[in-house]
Amino acid sequence: MGAAALPSNGEIATVTVDTHPLVLGLQPAALVDHVAHVDWSLLDQIPGDRGGSMPVAIEELEHILKEVKAHKLASPDELSPMMTMAGGSVANTIRGLSAGFGVSCGIIGACGDDEQGKLFVSNMSFNGVNLSRLRMKQGHTAQCVCMVDELGNRTMRPCLSSAVKVQADELTKEDFKGSKWLVLRYAIFNLEVIQAAIRTAKQEGLFVSLDLASFEMVRNFRSPLLQLLESGDIDLCFANEDEAMELLRGEQATDPEAAAEFLAKHCNWAVVTLGADGCIARHGKELVRVPAIGEAKATDATGAGDLFAGGFLYGLIKGLSLEECCQVGACSGGSVIRSLGGEVTTENWQWMCKQMQIKDLPLPDIRN
């Protein structure tokens, strides 16, 4: 399936017939990921913390891409040393829910009228995502370099500054009508559109899921994040261990259980993912700890949290218990780390279904 046709009103036609997707993802700026294996000597030359995500200017992105091509490690099981695909945390979650779980999904955002924009449209529409809320604008589509080291850990450098994005005043009630969930990722530069989306989503009766994005984002912009959480409008929150520690900075206890307890004060469901150690989740007074599923060593951790979130949401939609939601999340999160990039291969979706079958979890109803 190629790129969808682009109608004259600047909105993108979609191949999906479901006009009111069950799950909507807000990703203000469509993003294309360039994913490659690199050696540690390159990571040492790049400003910022290894393992984190730090925005860069277009010149620096182009410089890093050039360096990556020079330093890349050719992986024996990959056809290409660098992969390019639709990216961004929300896009990864939405694409996974649609392609792997058969849940009707749509994305709200904007992409540029460039090659990257066409690639984003083609990739997401191929995976069954409704793109009728994705605006095409003149300009550049956001890009991100994802550098994966020998241990499977990823360091990300997104370039968002010159990219087109959807603005708060462009959102309408029609965007949200008939949907059940809104999936968001915290980002200070998108705060206005995030707040507008939450406001409208709540008016339309949607549940809201928030991912804490990165430890740098939590560390540097903790106060507005706390205001978002304390608003009572966030129903489900996902944090990884590093983000959880930053969130609890200054508190007496900073362990994952304390983080889950802290988040559960403000959200119905709170989940702290712990990588190879699984996750901790809290819903009301119920607390569960679920181990990870799959290989201890990740080929590439890109998208692990995003796909975990997709699996957990599938569990909630199906009415599963808290523990079962975490188990589905562990299965889907475990599927994406088996290969390079944040998109799950057909083979790895099959692996996920096998793991779900072993655990007696309800299998996705996928109609191809």
Looking at residue 50, what is its pLDDT?
Answer: 83
- Ramachandran region, residue 261 (left: φ > 0; alpha: ψ -120 to 50; beta: rest): alpha
Q: Alpha-carbon distance 111 to 12, whole Å? A: 10
Looking at residue 154, what is its pLDDT?
Answer: 83
Q: Alpha-carbon distance 282 to 173, whole Å? A: 31
- Distance of alpha carbon 213 from its chain centroid, rounded? 8
Looking at residue 339, what is its pLDDT?
Answer: 75
From first to last of its 368 residues, the chain has per-residue pLDDT tens of 333 333 333 444 334 446 899 999 999 999 999 988 887 788 888 888 888 788 899 999 999 998 888 776 544 455 457 889 999 999 999 999 999 999 999 999 999 999 999 999 999 999 999 999 999 999 999 999 998 888 878 888 999 888 999 999 999 999 999 999 999 999 999 999 999 999 999 999 999 999 999 898 999 999 999 999 999 999 999 999 999 999 998 887 889 999 999 999 999 999 999 988 999 999 999 999 999 987 656 665 667 899 999 999 999 999 999 999 999 999 999 887 777 777 888 888 999 999 999 999 999 987 54
Looking at residue 300, what is its pLDDT?
Answer: 58
Tell me the Cα Rg of the chain: 19
Helix axes 304-317, 322-336, angle to 10 degrees: 140
pTM: 0.88
Q: Alpha-carbon distance 123 to 114, whole Å? A: 14
Alpha helical stretches, state H, the chain: 40-45, 58-71, 89-101, 115-126, 173-176, 191-203, 215-220, 222-230, 241-247, 256-264, 304-317, 322-336, 346-358
DSSP labels, 136-153: EESSBPEEEEEEE-TTS-
Q: Alpha-carbon distance 306 to 312, whole Å? A: 10
Least Cα distance to 49 among 131, 186, 183, 156 occurs for: 156
Distance (Å) of CA 78 to CA 75, 82, 296: 5, 9, 20
